[in-house]
Amino acid sequence: MNPVVLLTTLRPKQWTKNLLLFAGIVFSRHWGDPLAVRNAVAGFFVFCLLSGVVYITNDIVDVEKDRQHPKKRNRPIASGAISPTVAGVWGVTLLLGSLLLSYFMLPRGFFVAAMIYFGLSTAYSIRLKHVVVMDILTLAFGFVLRAIAGVEVIRVEGADIPITSFFVLTTLFLALFLATCKRRNELVVLGDNAGHHREVLKDYSTEFLDMILTVATGCVLFSYALWTTQGQFARTSSEAGGSSGTYAMVFTMPFVIYGIFRYLWLVVHRDEGGAPENLLIEDLPLLGAVVLWLLTTFAVLTFAR
């Protein structure tokens, strides 16, 4: 079997979603700990493998529908480049490998988070993606589990790294925002054939999704504002006297506001948002906001105390 085809079944372009696992080591400032870095990198690859197995499962379940889709018909299983049986064996092998790696080499909390993520994602592929509202909520919770796993994986040698509710809420609402944008784009682009390619789209309308976007936009900005002012997990609770983080993170707020509104504009006025990973690179103003956010965050975490 062609190794390139096997790799393609894992949708490596989607692995950028798993970069969220590095949020834990970045905001806790444990990047100087070799063991924490090793664990974070290992955790990233475990989630890449697990998400790849989920994609394989999804493509096997939806193989007939994908063959009728203008883009999805080019996926390895739908195109016939690899048989469902071979893909299934490949997926089981990767699943066992990732389970062994996470169970024996990484902290137990990470293993639990990874297993919940895999179970939830598999349930999404088999059933939940057909249930209105539950589909986008499941996608959002998947990102929350990634973020939590990124913290759990660096809990080495008794490191005290609290997870604040603001961090979880920001991740949840941002993921909900992006998932809703994706559904809206599918509904607009596919038009009358939307329900044929994705069954749950029959139960959605642009008006309803716009209402969800309005709520999600406000919630993600509010929760991020609380996170920047009430504390992240930039320091341990003992070091910060029970309150972690630094108020200097509030200076990243303008870039977040612009980025969210810019993305919303692209979705509503240009009918984009179907592929966030591509839109982030292709739209220069949005990319600029992200780069400035990264630079400001790096400066805050490096110099602010």
* 238, pLDDT greater than 50: no
The string of pLDDT tens digits covering residues 203-236 is 899 999 999 999 999 999 999 998 888 765 444 4
The string of pLDDT tens digits covering residues 18-33 is 999 998 888 888 888 8
**pLDDT value of residue 288:** 95
The string of pLDDT tens digits covering residues 33-62 is 899 999 999 999 999 999 999 999 989 988
Mean pLDDT, range 159-182, rounded to an integer: 87
**pLDDT value of residue 246:** 57
Query: What percentage of the chain has pLDDT greater than the value 70?
Result: 90
| CATH code, 1-161 | 1.10.357.140
* 11, pLDDT greater than 50: yes
The string of pLDDT tens digits covering residues 78-97 is 888 899 999 999 999 999 99
Q: Return the number of other C-beta atoms located less than 10 Å from residue 304's C-beta.
A: 13
* 295, pLDDT greater than 90: yes
Q: What is the DSSP string of the chain?
A: --HHHHHHTT-GGGGGGGGGGGHHHHHTT-TT-HHHHHHHHHHHHHHHHHHHHHHHHHHHHTHHHHTTSTTGGGSHHHHTSS-HHHHHHHHHHHHHHHHHHHHHHS-HHHHHHHHHHHHHHHHHHHTGGGSTTHHHHHHHHHHHHHHHHHHHTT--TT------HHHHHHHHHHHHHHHHHHHHHHHHHHGGGHHHHSGGGGG--HHHHHHHHHHHHHHHHHHHHHHHHH--SSS-TTTTTT--S-GGGGGGHHHHHHHHHHHHHHHHHH---S-HHHHHHH-HHHHHHHHHHHHHHHHHHHH--
Among 17-21, 242-246, 249-253, 284-288, name the one with the lowest average pLDDT.
242-246
* 150, pLDDT greater than 90: yes
| Mean per-residue pLDDT over the chain, rounded | 87
* 245, pLDDT greater than 90: no
pTM for the structure as a whole: 0.86
The ranges assigned to domains in the chain are 1-161, 163-305
